[in-house]
Structure formats: structure tokens, C-alpha cells
Structure 1
Amino acid sequence: MDTNFERRRIMQMLAAASAAAAVPIGTIAAAADGAAPKKPTGKPIVLGLTISTTAAAGVADHADHMNGSLLAQEEINANGGILGRPLELRPVDVDLLSAESCQASIRKLVDLKVHAISSPFLFVPIPAMDASANYKCPYVNGNTQRAATDMVAKHPEKYNHIFQMDPSEVFYGETFPVFLESLADSGNWKPKNNKVHIVQEQIAYCQTISRACQEALKKSRFELAKVTDIQYPVQDWGSVIRDIKKTGAGTVMMDHWVAAEYAAFCKQFRANPLKGTLIYLQYGPSQPEFLELTGKAAEGFVWSTMLGVYADKKGQAFRDKYQKRFPGKTMGLCYTGGGYDIAYMMAQAWNAVGNPDDFKAVNDYIRKTAFRGVCGWSYMNNPRQEARHFPLGTDSIESGMSQLYFQIQDGKNKIIYPPQLKEADFRLTPWM
């Protein structure tokens, strides 16, 4: 991938979003009396965004979030805006790996007097949360980090304006044995043994997932075989693949997150695979460059995301609109929907409250009111103010956000779990 080109493209997109409210696309929806909605006028309602163009990794996720936000903005303004006023996006650059940059980006949005903040994810979220603590505008994010939501629960007065619209990363670990048992029970996969080999990266996010998985395995029919450490950036996967083959586990959890490095792993593994072993890649393949970089070598790998666009009627309609709006681009299935949903979540709250400057009332509304987006339900009326997880946080898919497991089949990402949202059955991989 040409990283410099990708960053230039995002910078052009950010400049266009900052300059003015976007031009409506498509046909303007008709009002109830058959007339087109009035063009929004007056002082814009401003949604600030933290969008990385400079970090060593994560730029593609942030570009997805920006694209989803732009699509929502265009639709909202085409349908009369919010309270008759236009929605404006104000993105600021952030290095999502730097505590100082994360904090500075939020301070800049506070200085801009935005009405709310929309953020995909920051790897050091608590300094960013602190930078917003006095301003108190709604700050809705997809950080997927329990350390951050634990802070919200511990200090409710300070952080009562912070909302994580998806469940936390602990569920990646806790759900993994549940997924394996469901897959084995389906008859579509017969594990060659019940051992699980975890290959873990060293950032706190991946370490939390690994620990949660190790604890969950103790309560399942599967067992831990080994834990292998890796360090970002991974230059060569050869030693890791040799370790995987020597250990011989029936399942390998690759607890990493960088799409380009996953692509290198998949190509090297396919050239020298451990036959019969299920390989699971945590989250990273959601980034659009994974399929572009991996090509045919991606076939058969399994991955999951805590925040993902459903393939139901609502989710498919969004996918179609997104592809029409951004033709020729591989669509990421995570933060495209996250950015889109946060914009509509805020529009719903502002319309209901009637005053976007009343931060307390808007925060109370978001906390108490469930939102159904293209990524499922965000129920955040709990001490952590994070979305309820399906299936571990609730047994009803209509009262939680479902973690989605995908398998790459015929070059496309297909949902294989949970059964309620399944697009396809699991296929035996080429090396099986």
C-alpha cells in the first residue's frame, strides 16, 4: 500500500469536510406532504472528530470512520438537517499511539466549541477523556477498551459524558472458546485437538484480550497450549510460524491488530502451513487494505470484530450506499459503520432534546436511550457506559451489539457467527 498516497487522500478529505457542510448526494427524500425537505439553514451543529493521518498504523480505520461520518452528514443535511440546522464535521488530526497527541486533539476540539465528539479508537484514551472532562460535550467513541470504561464507572461525575458505543476488548478473549465450541458442534469443523496457541502482541489492548481468553479457556472444553510473544512492528513471521508448527495446536489465536503485518503472516503461513489448524486473526482483517495486500492468500482465515456492520436488511442497505458513495474502494466493515452510527446517534439525541448546547440533557438522553444502528444496538445505560455485548452481556440480539465472526470466502468477508446473523457456513480452509 502507498502509505503517503493514502495519507494525502485523507488530508484532502478532511479539508473538504472542514470547509463546509457536504453537498447532498442522491435524491433528496420527500417530506410527509410530498415536498422536498427544506435546506438546513442557520448556525451549524458541529460534530468534532479525531481522525489520524500521521500514525504508524490505524490510518485506514480512521479513514473508514471519516467516510462513514461523511455519508451520514450528507444524508442528514439532504433531509433537512438537525432542528433545521446543518450538520458540520470538524476533523482534527491525531497520532492515536501518542498520549500527548490524543490529549491535544481533544483540547483542539474543545477550543473549537464542538457540540459533540466522535472518535473511532485511540490507544491511549484516558488522557483524551481527561482533556474533555471540564467541557462535558458528548464524547462517543469506538475505543473498545475496558480500562477506559472502568474509569468511567469509577469516576462517574468526571466522565459522565463519555460513551463507548461498542463492547470492550475483553469479549474477544471471553467469546473465543464459545465460538470454537459452537463451530465444533455445528459439524462444519472437527478440531484435530482441543489445544489453543495464543500469539500475543505486547500492547495493553492485546494483553487484555489474551488474559481474558486464557481465563475463558479454563471453563471450556478447549485448553491453552502455549503463549508466544511478538513485538510490533513484526519484521519476519518465520520464527512464529516455526513455533506454531512445533506446538501443533488445533487452533491458533493471532492476537495482533495491524492489517499489513497480518497480510505478511498469511502469505508466509500459506507457503508453509500447519495442516488442519484453524487460524484466527483478531480484528485486523477488518481494515480494507488486508484483502488488498493479502489477495488469494487470505482465503479461509477467520477473524472477528466487536464493532461491525451487520449483513441484515439495515446493514446491507448501508453497505450498498457506502459502495455507491465511495466506488472502487474496498469497504472496511468496522469503523465505516461506527462513524455512520455515531453521527445518527447524535442526530437522534439532538432532535429529541431540542438544544445541542444543553450538554447535560443530551448526555442523559444518550445514556438512557438505546440506539439501533447498522452495527446493531448500543445500550449504554450502565456504570461503564459501554454497549452491551451479545451473546455474553445479554442473550437477546435485540438488546445488545453482536460480536461478528467472519471467514474470508471467495475473496469476501462472510459472517459465520452468531447464527442469527450468519451469511455463510464455515468452510474447511485450503490447508485443511
Structure 2
Amino acid sequence: MARVFGAPADATRWACVDDRDVLSSAPRGWPDADPALLTYVHAAAAAGEPAAFLWSGGPGRVVAVGVTPVWSAGPRPVAEVTTEAAPAPYGLTWRELQVLTLVAGGLTNTEIAARLRTARRTVATHVERLLTKLEVPTRTAAASTAVDARLLVLPIPGGAGGLAAIGVQRLEAAVSRRTTAPARPGPRPVRKHPIVIGGVYPAEGRLSADGQGRRRAAELAVGEVNAHGGVDGHELVHVAVEADLADLTSLAGGIDDLVGRGVDAVTLGYTLARHDFAGVFASAADHGCPVLHSATSQSAQSLVLEEPVRFGNVFQVCAPESRYGVGFVRALRDFEASGSWRPHRRELLVVDSTDPHLTTFTAQAHEAAERAGWRVEVERVDFLRPGWRQVLDVIGQRDPAAVMVATWVEPSLLDFLRRFRATGSQALVYAIYAPSVPGFLERAGALAEGLSWATVIGTYQDGLAGRFAHEFAGAHHSDPGRSGAGIHYDMVHLLTQAWRQVANPHDTAAVNQQLRTLVYRGVSGAYWFGSPGQSALTYPDDTADPSIAQAHLVHQVQDGRHVIVAPSPYAQGTFRPPPLSSTGPPGAAAR
């Protein structure tokens, strides 16, 4: 289940002054985690009136906030602030709570739809569901329940204007006055409304190392943009939630939570569950903000192709997984052509996923292998719960020249390598993506030596990428890895370029159109979404022009480090025969 980093969960007594002062006795780490909430706390304390409202605490959970002004002999307003995280009341979703708040404010379905930037029939569905959950017959009864049970949320979508004078409306209006009032002589200038980037990252577990690198890289990029004045004076704010990447409900919940917060863009990495991207992206499609993801998915690309109007705000920043199969065949051809590898058999084993939406070795790859004279056998494995015995038995029986292991999950690959090395097989092992995860070489040790692996989007080893790696290491005292962190660093700068080129960065339609036309060169290559399906291109699979694509990088672990061996001109070195791989005598390939 997705959750917000640093969500408040305890009560304290705070001194409240203005939105630049640090609150005394605040829960450690919370003020920096959610500064927007502090704005409302300050406004309530300054108004001297009790306030109670709900704040998003992640999918299915809310934070009940209470602000009680207390007497103070000093010049600063003081309030006791209590926060309690709990499951959403009555089973209401955050979007339903937003609709309920607007209903309590006296708005019609049409007016609510305009504020939420969604269809009126969608709002009508939300209203029907919340009436059912609250067990009330009418909108008036629902509004009364919302006020009495303190079910009103902040921030109010669309602001306080036009709403009845319910408690949260007054507080929303007070916040608006604090942030838009003309500056008195001397004080700091009024700040523009921030631009909020919401990122969905892997929850704790087998993918957490990769998720931590992605989040840190996004925060590094946000800091760089803000250090240069933000976007025309708009500060960038990064909001992070966690989700289970193998659970579509959790993924959709994470995005729903961010949309409920009114983010200006959503970023998402790869996913291990891919059979319903329409459900995952539904709330973001209604919201209209750009969604940048690196799911490496043909299904996601096809969704945009089939429904370009509804999902025209969804952009895949890399090529789909089907490119890995043809890349494997091409890499073997290059290894042979170099004279560095002479396979002892014309037989290949591909270990692919049991999930058809994760298939890497497609019909196109089979055709390429056949043209090159290879016989291919495919074994399918659930990479989240792999059982390697059958695969190892096939390796022992068929004695393939090379084995492609198409898992994104690093622990799964490490488990295979331990078992495979013990067999003494001479096969060349070729992996995808998983070795790019930060710390892979340290965890794999000698098991990784000679391993070949590829990623359709990875961090280059040029000056631009070198500066990124240096800044990342300086900030976090760790290595960013070879793919995920660079992708999320690029996503922030790519969005920033689009925001800077439109008149209003909160105009999502204009931003999406800008994303369809611009070309951005990041640490992982060039991003261009002008092709059908709004998916980035890979070189040389999709285009011979690397200026509008990302290189399909092939690496080999040599002497304990990753070395890019293809394609030209990005190669740092040449392929070496792996320690357990035989070069074979001349003519052995004919066996």
C-alpha cells in the first residue's frame, strides 16, 4: 500500500508564527516532509479559531488534523496541533472526500467537475458512491454528515471562492489571503504558486534500493532547478509516495493520492504488474497533468495509441520491453563479429516472464535469431517467486551457448547467478536492467564477473552523466547506479524544460503539448515523444539517429566494474570472453 514519506502520526504543541519559521517541538522530520500542511496550521493559529480537517495520508488513509489556539503571553500566536493517521472514514477514497467537501460547500456536479478537471458523469458516480457509504439519501444529508463528523478536507480543490462559509472554506480563504496579500514595505516578495512533482517509488523490500536512488535523484534535480530560480519564480516541490510495484491497486492508489493533492506532474518508474494500465492511469487522465513513467511496457504504449485523447497526458520515457530480445540477438552477433566469442553451439536459452505483459523475446526476436542461425528455447519463470531447478536442468540438458535472463528484480538475478555458477556451464549469461541497481556489484561480488547485461535506457558515461554522478555522490555518499536514478533526474529536468516554455506552467494541456514536441538531452540520452504512443525511441532499435533516442546500452562486468561495450559511439571498451565461457576451437560453432 502506498504511503507518504514523513506522514505525521503524533500530537504536540507548536509555536506558530509564519511559514518561514521552524515550529517548536514539532515531530522530527515532519515540517520538511509536508510544508503545505504547515501553511494551514499557521493560518488557523493566527486566526485564533479552532479548526479540524482531513489531510491526505496516502491511499486509503487520512490524517485528522486539529488546531486549538491557546493563550500565550508572548507576541506570537500559539496553538496545540494534534494529528492522527487512520484509515479513511466510511471507506471513502480521497477523491470522494474531496467531492464531499465541495458538495458541503454547495457546489453542483457541473461546478465540481470544473474544479476537478473531470467529466460531470464521473462526479455523479462519486456522489452516488459517497451517499451509499455514508448511508444517507441526499446531498444535503451528506453535507450535514461531513460537517458534523469532520470529514472536510484541505486543501480545497479550486480554492475557497464560491463555496458556502463552512469551516474549511474560511481557513482556505485565510491561507489564500496570506499567500496573495500585497507585500508591506521591506518584507520578502510574494511567492508564486509552487509547481508540485509527485513521484511514486517502490515500497520497502526487494526493490527499495532502486527506489531510494530514484527518489534521491529526483530531489537532487529539484534542488538544482530551485537553485537557479525555479520555473520563472515558481518553486519546485517534490512529493513522494510509496507503492508495491507488483500490485496494480497499490500503484493506482499512489497516483490517486498524488492527484488528490493537486500535483502538476506524476513520475513513475517501472512496474511488475502491467495488465491494467488504464486503471493505473485513470485518475491522472481525469486530472490532465503529465505522467512520465519508465514502465518499459508495450501495453502502456498501446494504451496511448488506442486512446490518445483520454491518455494523451501519459508519456513513456523509454522503449518497451520487446526491444530487449532483438538487442540480445544483436549483441551476440557483435560479440561473434569481434572474434572475442566463438559459441560452441548454435543454441540459445531465453528465460522470460510467465506474465505475457513482461515478455521480452517476441516474434521479432525469434525471426532475428533464426536469420542468425540460432535455435531458441524459451523457459518461463515467475521472477517474483522464481524456481530455478527447471531452468538449470534445461541448461544441463541443452548446453546452450548463451542464456538470457530477463528479470528486472535484482535478488532474483543474484539467486540465479549463485546457482548457475555452481553448474560449471560454459554458457554466456546475458541479463537485463537488474545489474543497473545501485550496489549490485558489491552484493554480487565475483558472481558478476564477465556478466553481460543491457538496458534500453541507462546512464551514459559522458561528461553530463559524470557531473550527475559526482553531484549525487556528494549529496548522498553513494553511487546512483546505471539507470533508474538517472531516469528520474532526467524526468525532473525534462518537465522543467516544458514548464519554462509555456506561458502558465499550471496549464496542463499546454505542458503536455510542449512535451510532445521538445527534444531533451539528459544523462540517459535524448527524449522525444513525437512518435505514435508517446514512447521514447531507442538507438539503434527504433532509429539510426541517436540525437532523438536513448542508446540501448550493452554492458559487461570487467574487473569488478561496469563497462559499456555497445553500441558505438558510446562503448568504453570491448567484450571479453567470460571466465567460464569457452571460446571454443575454430569450427566449433557448427556443432
Normalised to the residue count of structure 2, the TM-score between the two structures is: 0.65
Change (3 A) 1:348 1:195: same
Q: Is the 8 A contact 1:145 1:205 kept in 2?
A: yes
Matched, 1:72 2:87: no
The C-alpha deviation readout for 1:265-321, integer Å capped at 9, x for no partner, is 21222222212x211012211122432321121101111111100012212221222
> Mean Cα displacement is larger for which, 158-167 or 205-214?
205-214
Matched with 1:30 is none
The one of 374, 383, 391 equivalent to 1:223 is: 374
Matched with 2:493 is 344
The one of 251, 258, 263 equivalent to 2:414 is: 263
Structure number with greater Rg is 2
State the alpha-carbon separation in 1 of the partners of residues 577 and 326 from structure 2: 24
The one of 537, 542, 555 equivalent to 1:388 is: 537
Superposed, 1:395-406 pairs within 5 Å as: 395-406=544-555
The C-alpha deviation readout for 1:378-409, integer Å capped at 9, x for no partner, is 11112200001210211121221111111111
> Mean Cα displacement is larger for which, 386-395 or 39-48?
39-48
Change (3 A) 1:326 1:211: farther
> Mean Cα displacement is larger for which, 207-216 or 92-101?
207-216
Matched with 1:213 is 365
Q: Is the 8 A contact 1:295 1:411 kept in 2?
A: yes
Q: Give the AA of the match of 2:344.
A: K
Q: Is the 8 A contact 1:115 1:357 kept in 2?
A: yes
Change (3 A) 1:11 1:271: farther
The runs of 4+ residues in structure 1 deviating greater than 6 Å are: 10-17
The one of 483, 506, 513 equivalent to 1:357 is: 506
Q: CA RMSD in A?
A: 2.5
Identity within the alignment, %: 28
Matched with 1:28 is none
State the alpha-carbon separation in 2 of the partners of residues 170 and 406 from structure 1: 18
State the alpha-carbon separation in 2 of the partners of residues 265 and 15 from structure 1: 41
Q: Is the 8 A contact 1:145 1:169 kept in 2?
A: yes
Task: Note the C-alpha offset of 1:231.
Answer: 2.5
The one of 193, 213, 217 equivalent to 1:43 is: 193
State the alpha-carbon separation in 2 of the partners of residues 63 and 15 from structure 1: 19
State the alpha-carbon separation in 1 of the partners of residues 31 and 329 from structure 2: 45
Change (3 A) 1:140 1:65: same
Q: Is the 8 A contact 2:469 2:479 kept in 1?
A: no
Q: Is the 8 A contact 1:17 1:91 kept in 2?
A: no
The C-alpha deviation readout for 1:49-72, integer Å capped at 9, x for no partner, is 111214x54333222211110110
Superposed, 1:119-158 pairs within 5 Å as: 119-122=268-271, 123-124=273-274, 125-158=277-310
State the alpha-carbon separation in 1 of the partners of residues 325 and 29 from structure 2: 35
Matched, 1:165 2:317: yes
- SS state of the match for residue 231, structure 2? coil
Change (3 A) 1:67 1:222: farther
Q: Is the 8 A contact 2:297 2:358 kept in 1?
A: no
Matched, 1:249 2:400: yes
Matched with 2:564 is 415
State the alpha-carbon separation in 2 of the partners of residues 401 and 372 from structure 1: 9
The C-alpha deviation readout for 1:219-247, integer Å capped at 9, x for no partner, is x3142332222233446534422321221
Matched, 1:285 2:435: yes
The one of 282, 295, 301 equivalent to 2:451 is: 301
Q: Give the AA of the match of 1:228.
A: E
Change (3 A) 1:50 1:15: farther
Q: Is the 8 A contact 1:285 1:303 kept in 2?
A: yes
The one of 237, 251, 258 equivalent to 1:109 is: 258
State the alpha-carbon separation in 2 of the partners of residues 379 and 39 from structure 1: 37
The C-alpha deviation readout for 1:109-137, integer Å capped at 9, x for no partner, is 11101111111123333322222111110
Q: Give the AA of the match of 1:292.
A: E
Q: Is the 8 A contact 2:299 2:357 kept in 1?
A: no
Task: Note the C-alpha offset of 1:257.
Answer: 2.0
Matched, 1:181 2:333: yes
Change (3 A) 1:40 1:206: farther
Matched, 1:323 2:473: yes
State the alpha-carbon separation in 1 of the partners of residues 387 and 281 from structure 2: 36
State the alpha-carbon separation in 2 of the partners of residues 363 and 185 from structure 1: 44
The C-alpha deviation readout for 1:167-222, integer Å capped at 9, x for no partner, is 1111111222112112211222222222211122212343244555324323x314
Q: Is the 8 A contact 1:139 1:162 kept in 2?
A: yes
State the alpha-carbon separation in 2 of the partners of residues 239 and 97 from structure 1: 24
Change (3 A) 1:71 1:17: farther
Change (3 A) 1:16 1:300: farther
- Structure with more contact order per residue of length (Cα contacts < 8 Å, sep ≥ 6): 1
Task: Note the C-alpha offset of 1:40.
Answer: 10
State the alpha-carbon separation in 2 of the partners of residues 93 and 40 from structure 1: 33
Q: Is the 8 A contact 2:366 2:376 kept in 1?
A: no
- SS state of the match for residue 371, structure 1? strand
Task: Note the C-alpha offset of 1:349.
Answer: 0.7
Q: Is the 8 A contact 2:215 2:485 kept in 1?
A: yes
Matched, 1:240 2:240: no
The gaps in structure 2 that reach 5 residues or longer are: 8-27, 37-187, 582-591
Task: Note the C-alpha offset of 1:352.
Answer: 0.9
Q: Give the AA of the match of 2:325.
A: G
Q: Give the AA of the match of 2:242.
A: D
State the alpha-carbon separation in 2 of the partners of residues 341 and 39 from structure 1: 31
Q: Is the 8 A contact 2:458 2:524 kept in 1?
A: yes
State the alpha-carbon separation in 2 of the partners of residues 94 and 262 from structure 1: 22
Q: Is the 8 A contact 2:6 2:33 kept in 1?
A: no
Superposed, 1:74-89 pairs within 5 Å as: 74-89=223-238
Matched, 1:18 2:33: yes
Task: Note the C-alpha offset of 1:375.
Answer: 0.4
Q: Is the 8 A contact 1:200 1:210 kept in 2?
A: no
The C-alpha deviation readout for 1:6-57, integer Å capped at 9, x for no partner, is x99x879996873359xxxxxxxxxxxxxxxx99943321001111214x54
Q: Is the 8 A contact 2:459 2:483 kept in 1?
A: yes
